[in-house]
Amino acid sequence: MNFWTNVLSAGIGNGTALLFATMGELFAERAGVLNLGVEGMMLMGAVAAYGAAAATGDPWLGLLVGMLAGGFLSLLHAFVVISLRADQVVSGLALTFLGTGLSLVLGEGLASARNVPTIPTFSIPLLSQIPFVGPILFDNKSVLVYVGFALIPVVWFYVYRMRGGLHLRAIGEYPAAADSLGIDVYALRYFYVLLGGILAGLAGGAITLSITPGWFSEFTTSGYGWIAIGLVIFAQWDPVRAAIGSYLFGSLRRFTLDVQGVQDVFGIANPFFYDRNLQFFLEMLPYALTIIVLIIGSRAAIRKRLGAPAALGLPYVRGEQGLV
Amino acid sequence: MAQTIQTPAPQARTFRLPIRLKLEPRLETPNWLPWATTIGSILTALVATALILWYVGGDPLQSFRAIYRAAFGSVGVFSDTLVKATPLILTGLACLLAFRMRLWNIGAEGQFYLGAWGATLIVEGVLGSDASAWLFIPLMVLSGFFFGAVWGFIPGLLKARFNVNEIISTLMLNYISLLWVAYWVFGPWSERGFQLTPTFPRAAWLPRLTDYAALVKDLSGLTIHLGFVFAILAVVGVWYLLERTRFGYEIRLIGDNPNAAQYAGVNIALMTIMVFMLSGGLAGLAGMSEVSGVVHRLQDRISPGYGFTAIIVAWLAKLNPWAVIPVAIIFGGLLIGSREIQPSGIARMLQGILLFTLISSEVLNHYSIKLERIKA
């Protein structure tokens, strides 16, 4: 396998974790609830999944526990912002603190766990034989990677082509209208915030049990949760663009690692190979790119006059609010 | 939406609780209520933390007692607590200023790092080690403030010009600033390959009380430094700015009602950039005070998350500059105390729970909560 195949192949794996988290946030935001606690929920999912897998020896059970942990945290956010109508920004930040702190407390000593099982991998026959594309997408990949592939069309179809998706968009754009049609805005918002939490927990579990197995305290997720929130904005709340962004960022993460091992790039001496200290600038790339991606997303939103769900970040109070 | 359109269309397959929370707006809030809910939320957070500690097999009472003793047990440790409170006051003010305008500057941590870097730049790159303290300290203060402000300028400009979400941009800049400092302390400024710079010359240290132990014996061992005075001055400055100047009035106006501010002719874009720079500068000053007053060198991961704790400090102070001082001292004590107990995540966890109980309790100030039975 050459350099680029390697980068993209690993990028698909990294991107899968990002994909789950991004899709989860996309659901919550489409429903009108901004949840900035993705990083915290991912860390909780990561530690719970890893801990449960270490204790039981069953990675699938671990993954389930991770998803439940993420979901549990998100319910806290849902209660505070939907029922109590508190500020969504502050509550999301609180969730990040809580998730990070709780995962550190629960993960104490977990870093030295041995023989923790991981999610199995397999290759898809025939498809994996396709030159270039095969090894990147279908060769010796974790089951979760294929789940991720399947998730993209499913989410797209759900959001744009199904009644449930219509309701989802309605409660995010104009909850009062949705309410008048008998859609239970509160219950649905709870549901989608919970779904977002479960997916963030899955993302965390995917990292510790499959993509980069192990628990490395708060560095386990290394800011993926925040990048996911940035990607949702970049994607203009569209699942397909969110998926592309996720895989792109996943690959970038791997690229910054691999490029340090190459002596020449297109015949030019590679500075990152010769000066180890320049690695810090490489590591900045995903974060810098997130900002650039945000600028692109925000400009597009202004130009096309579309973008965020109209009721994003606003509590819904029956009978009190007219147009948002 | 008109009240009359409430056709209770039966929603199939939706699970319903038999009771429902009902929030009724309060017509007026009694004076004592905000204080009662704040104290109530602190107690709730402590109880919740105790339960979690107890669940993972710790002794919560003993942990809390250890924290208290380590933070407020004697004059010496109280001085250490004030040292920890100093960056929290400054970064707390940074957050407070931005939050007053409803700008979510989550980047105080990054601006702190840039401030620390800017102060170190004076030592490593500008002045010789034989320069006098009268040259070192003012230049380091200016440089720390300046580079913090630069780091605040970026998200401010992006917000004002492209409407880029400032929460994400400031967070990303936090990561970048950490790596930026790492590059300098691992690379050009590294002392013999270690991940820190050489110790600053004495002239670049902020004076501490213990430096005067030769004159007054009781001051020996007291680590509190001039940065604390900077922090108190900053509190007065921010209070004056917010309450006594046109600039501060516009900040509050935009924060309370951006539409009204727009109609009143306030230049919101310019205010966004300026407030972000001022906020970043304050956080940068905190970074300067930390390298010059405490650590006396720049090193990797120099902040234990001051910039993040600052968010809670500002919120707990109810965005009142004066209240930042006692709140920061309590949190400084928590930082000192939590070094004594394991596991290390407890302080962060307590902060998260506290923030939750705080914003939940704020609802009580504006609404009275009733439980309502739903008739089937």
Residue A34, pLDDT score: 93
Which tens digit of pLDDT belongs to each residue from B292-350?
999 999 999 899 889 988 998 998 898 999 999 999 999 998 888 777 666 667 777 88
Average pLDDT on A269-289 reads 85
* Res. B216 pLDDT band, cuts 50 70 90: confident
Which tens digit of pLDDT belongs to each residue from B151-176?
999 999 999 999 898 988 998 999 99
Same domain assignment for residues B93 and B41: no
Q: What whole-number percentage of chain B has pLDDT above 70? A: 94
Q: Is residue B142 part of a domain?
A: yes
Q: Using a CB-CB distance cutoff of 8 angstroms, which residues of chain A are in contact with residue B364?
A: none
DSSP H helical segments within A31-58, as ranges? Answer: 38-56
Same domain assignment for residues B246 and B323: yes
Same domain assignment for residues B203 and B306: yes
Same domain assignment for residues B52 and B80: no
Nearest CB partner across the interface for A281, out of B10, B183, B362: B183
Q: What whole-number percentage of chain B has pLDDT above 90? A: 55
Across the interface, whether the CB atoms of B359 and A97 are under 8 A apart is answered no
Please, what is the average pLDDT of chain B?
A: 88
CA distance A9 to chain B (A): 26
Q: What range defines the domain where residue B220 resides?
A: 76-342
- C-alpha Rg value of chain A to the nearest Å: 20
CATH number of domain containing B175: 1.10.3470
Same domain assignment for residues B265 and B331: yes
CA atoms within 13 A on the CB side of B345: 25
Count structural domains, chain B.
2
Residue B320, pLDDT score: 94
CA distance A67 to chain B (A): 20
Interatomic CA distance for residues A58 and A51, integer angstroms:
11
Interatomic CA distance for residues B189 and B168, integer angstroms:
30
Q: Encode burial over A165-201: b for 16+ CB neighbours within 10 A, e otherwise.
A: bebbbbbbbbbbebbbeebbbbbbbbbbbbbbbbbbb
* Res. B3 pLDDT band, cuts 50 70 90: very low
Given a cut of 70, whether residue B1 has pLDDT beyond it is no
Highest mean pLDDT among A155-169, A216-230, B353-367: A155-169
Same domain assignment for residues B42 and B121: no
* Res. A322 pLDDT band, cuts 50 70 90: very low
Same domain assignment for residues B120 and B269: yes
Same domain assignment for residues B117 and B266: yes
Q: Is residue B121 part of a domain?
A: yes
**Contacts across the A-B interface (CB distance below 8 Å):** 166
Given a cut of 90, whether residue A278 has pLDDT beyond it is no
Same domain assignment for residues B90 and B208: yes
Which tens digit of pLDDT belongs to each residue from A226-276?
999 989 988 889 999 999 999 999 999 888 888 887 777 766 777 777 777
* Res. A320 pLDDT band, cuts 50 70 90: low
Same domain assignment for residues B149 and B182: yes
CA distance B203 to chain A (A): 30
Same domain assignment for residues B35 and B131: no
Given a cut of 80, whether residue A74 has pLDDT beyond it is yes
- What are the structural domains, with CATH classification, of chain A? 3-120+143-304 (1.10.3470)
Q: Is residue B16 part of a domain?
A: no
Element (H, E) at B25: strand B19-25
Residue A324, pLDDT score: 41
Q: Is residue B6 part of a domain?
A: no
Which tens digit of pLDDT belongs to each residue from A91-107?
998 899 899 989 988 88
Closest CA to A170 of A316, A309, A17: A309
Average pLDDT on B20-26 reads 77
Q: Is residue B238 part of a domain?
A: yes
Q: Is residue B63 part of a domain?
A: no
Interatomic CA distance for residues B354 and B360, integer angstroms:
10
Q: Is residue B352 part of a domain?
A: no
Q: Is residue B25 part of a domain?
A: no
Residue B346, pLDDT score: 77
Residue B2, pLDDT score: 42
Given a cut of 80, whether residue B11 has pLDDT beyond it is no
Determine how many CB atoms are found less than 10 A away from the CB of residue A153.
Answer: 12
Across the interface, whether the CB atoms of A233 and B168 are under 8 A apart is answered yes
Across the interface, whether the CB atoms of A233 and B165 are under 8 A apart is answered yes
Q: Which residues, numbered 256 to 315 in chain A, qualify as contacts with chain B under a Cβ-Cβ cut-off of 8 Å? A: 277-278, 280-281, 283-284, 287-288, 290-291, 294-295, 298-299, 301-302
The ipTM value here is 0.86
Residue B17, pLDDT score: 67
Same domain assignment for residues B135 and B82: yes
